[in-house]
């Protein structure tokens, strides 16, 4: 009689394990974050993110075609703008002929079925490296939101399928929805960075876009903790996600990923919209660094982490491993 139930019967071989596997991964589970640079035929590797590049629009389009062929159906795009276009208003962000707007048009023209979700935040355009407009020594919420609406509408005009506000300003989802609808873009969705924590895992990303907070000749916050969330908090993430859904978000995001899987599950249980998880640059860089030293197996750790993010409740995973993982899955 000992024991009646043996769990190992369901682990005997890979065929049995695959039959009872609770969570599966597919290339359609991934969104690929892409960095776009000025110029033509530009491809510059980001030193802190081996295998990830800033590409000019022409090479970005070629990469988009390649990943679409692998089964990836969404890209999250960011731009590195020249210093002379940066100021404290972020006005370049809604330039109809700006780098982001050109990139959206080029991607949608070359690969119409690819879902394009441009980043909506002012840090790539800010002389201070912050996600909004600086006033009285801090990021001013409401004027920033007004700028974000102009930015989002310009993205929609260029052909974006979703806009992805990553700024963490209060009330911005409602104003974005109102602004998009007023401009006739009822079909353009909002993927809100709802629970974006003030994390040290973002370092390599800020290298890629030169978007870290900077010292200035005026009073400027030294970090982003007045608007990004305190990583000690859990209930606040649920509140933020529910608030964004009430304001009109079509998807919500938790960022970072692996260190925040408890938050992913809490948010998944609380909302009735898809939950995106951003497997961020620092998480990518740590795996790459350990693999280069022979301490970890890159492919095995990559797939384990992505599977765990999906298991925790992610409907979509934004990850720099998207292309690598899709290639492995297709094999």
Does the annotation count 80 as an active-site position? no
The residue annotated as part of the active site, out of 86, 108, 196, 323, is: 196
The residue annotated as part of the active site, out of 86, 108, 224, 255, is: 255
**Cβ contact 224:213 at 8 Å:** yes
Exposure b/e, 211-231, CB count within 10 A at least 16 = b:
bebeeeeeebbeebeebbbeb
How many Å apart are CA 76 and CA 196, to the nearest integer?
A: 16
Query: What is the full DSSP assignment across 100-125?
Result: HHHHHHHHHHH-TTSEEEEEE-SGGG
Looking at the DSSP bridge assignments, the partners of residue 316 are 276
How many Å apart are CA 32 and CA 24, to the nearest integer?
A: 19
Cβ of 3: how many Cβ atoms within 10 Å? Answer: 6
Does the annotation count 288 as an active-site position? no
List helix spans (H) across the chain.
Answer: 14-20, 57-69, 99-110, 141-158, 172-182, 203-209, 235-247, 261-270, 281-292, 298-312, 322-330
How many Å apart are CA 33 and CA 77, to the nearest integer?
A: 6
- Rg from Cα positions in the chain: 20
Q: Is 240 annotated as a binding residue?
A: yes
**Binding region for Mg(2+):** 240
Known binding residues: 240
Known catalytic residues are 196, 255
């Amino acid at each position: 009689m000992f024991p009646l139930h043996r769990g190992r019967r369901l682990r005997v071989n890979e065929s049995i394990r695959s039959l009872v596997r609770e969570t599966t991964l597919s290339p359609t589970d991934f969104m690929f974050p892409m960095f776009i640079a000025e110029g033509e035929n530009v491809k510059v590797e980001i030193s802190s993110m081996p295998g990830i590049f800033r590409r000019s629009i022409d090479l970005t389009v070629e990469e988009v075609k390649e990943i679409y062929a692998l089964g990836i159906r969404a890209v999250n795009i960011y731009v590195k703008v020249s210093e002379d276009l940066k100021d404290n208003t972020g006005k370049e962000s809604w330039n109809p002929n700006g780098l982001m707007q050109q990139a959206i048009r080029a991607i949608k023209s070359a690969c119409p079925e690819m879902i394009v979700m441009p980043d909506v935040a002012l840090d790539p355009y800010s002389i201070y490296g912050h996600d909004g407009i600086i006033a009285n020594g801090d990021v001013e919420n409401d004027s920033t939101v007004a700028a974000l609406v102009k930015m989002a509408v310009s993205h929609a005009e260029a052909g974006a399928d979703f806009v992805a506000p990553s700024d963490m300003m209060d009330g911005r989802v409602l104003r974005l929805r109102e602004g998009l609808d007023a401009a006739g873009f009822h079909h353009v969705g909002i993927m809100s960075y709802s629970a974006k924590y003030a994390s040290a895992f973002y370092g390599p990303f800020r290298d890629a876009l030169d978007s870290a907070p900077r010292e200035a000749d005026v009073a400027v916050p030294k970090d982003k903790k007045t608007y990004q969330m305190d990583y000690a908090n859990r209930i606040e993430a649920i509140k933020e996600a529910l608030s964004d859904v009430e304001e009109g978000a079509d998807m919500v995001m938790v960022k970072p990923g692996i260190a925040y899987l408890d938050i992913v599950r809490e948010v998944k249980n609380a909302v009735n919209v898809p939950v995106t998880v951003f497997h961020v640059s620092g998480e990518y860089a740590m795996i790459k660094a350990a693999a280069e030293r022979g301490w970890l197996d890159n492919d095995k750790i990559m797939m384990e982490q992505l599977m765990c993010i999906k298991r925790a409740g992610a409907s979509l995973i934004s990850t720099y491993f998207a292309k690598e993982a899709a290639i492995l899955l297709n094999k």
